[in-house]
Amino acid sequence: MARLLRTGLPFLLVWVAVVWASHVRTNLLNVCMDAKHHKEKPGPEDKLHEQCSPWKDNACCSVNTSQEAHKDISYLYKFNWDHCGKMAPECKKHFIQDTCLYECSPNLGPWIHKVDQSWRQERILNVPLCKEDCQNWWKDCRTSYTCKSNWHKGWNWSSGYNQCPKEATCHPFEFFFPTPAALCSNVWSDSYIISKYSRGSGRCIQMWFDPAYGNPNEKVARFYAEAMSGTGLPRAWSFPLSLVLVLLCLLC
Ligand SMILES: *[C@@H]1O[C@H](CO)[C@@H](O)[C@H](O)[C@H]1NC(C)=O
Ligand SMILES: *[C@@H]1O[C@H](CO)[C@@H](O)[C@H](O)[C@H]1NC(C)=O
């Protein structure tokens, strides 16, 4: 019995670790964050509105959320895009797409972190946005104006929606966001980071995609989940390996 424990226990521990590691990986895939409007679990939503419709096969957003995502000062966050005069429509469409990605994507698991905020329990941090998505967002917003570089903090909310605080003056976007990288990182306190990879590479998250070819971000999430969960063991290996280890345990 003592011998069995001495030789069997290490194997058992390795087996538990392997099974646990693959469990961690599946926890990062096909999940919704615990935030203000997200569904508990992803699922189909046939009627997702306009720019959010690419996610209709599998979404973390409800139809209501997808409709609200297209409105100014919507019920979602009462956010006022037009805080320095009217935001250009070509700029606004990127913020709507950003809202759709944030609310609807079930592929952001590898970048979800716990937070202690009154309005959400989890957030995304450093999601690698494909460089073209970030560059086009910045380029289309160059003619619009803003008064701040971090849009999460420091607004005057006294009228129920965000207004520029007294000391902040409006300037063209470029004044606060000199580069595409600055826009993507700073606007939502590091929710995104510009990726060095391009759309279609399978190594960066696409804010825009054609659902006719499926959701390209599924593959991206799987890649980063495996890279992040430490063991470096490809998923296909963990089950056969755990079987072998169990057999070894039984034999010893
Ligand atoms: C979404 O739901 C909220 C809360 O129930 C409601 O106030 C809002 O009008 C709804 N929006 C749409 C577009 O149905
Ligand atoms: C906040 O906005 C209100 C209403 O527009 C204004 O009266 C007040 O002076 C503003 N406060 C600051 C600190 O900007």
Q: What's the 159 CA to ligand 2 centre distance in angstroms?
A: 8
Residue closest via CA to ligand 2's atom 7 equals 158
**Average of pLDDT values for 91-119?**
93
pLDDT in tens, 159-214: 999 999 998 999 999 999 999 999 999 999 999 999 999 999 999 999 999 999 99
- Report how far Cα 199 is from the mean position of its chain's Cα atoms: 16
Q: What's the 80 CA to ligand 2 centre distance in angstroms?
A: 15
Residues with CB under 6 A from ligand 1: 64, 67-68, 75
Average pLDDT, the chain: 87
The predicted pLDDT at position 23 comes to 53
Q: Which residue would you say has higher pLDDT here, 15 or 134?
A: 134
Contact of 140 with 94, CB cutoff 8 Å? yes
pLDDT confidence tier of residue 244, bands split at 50, 70 and 90: low
- Token output for 96: 């709507």
118 Cβ closer than 6 Å to some ligand 2 atom: no
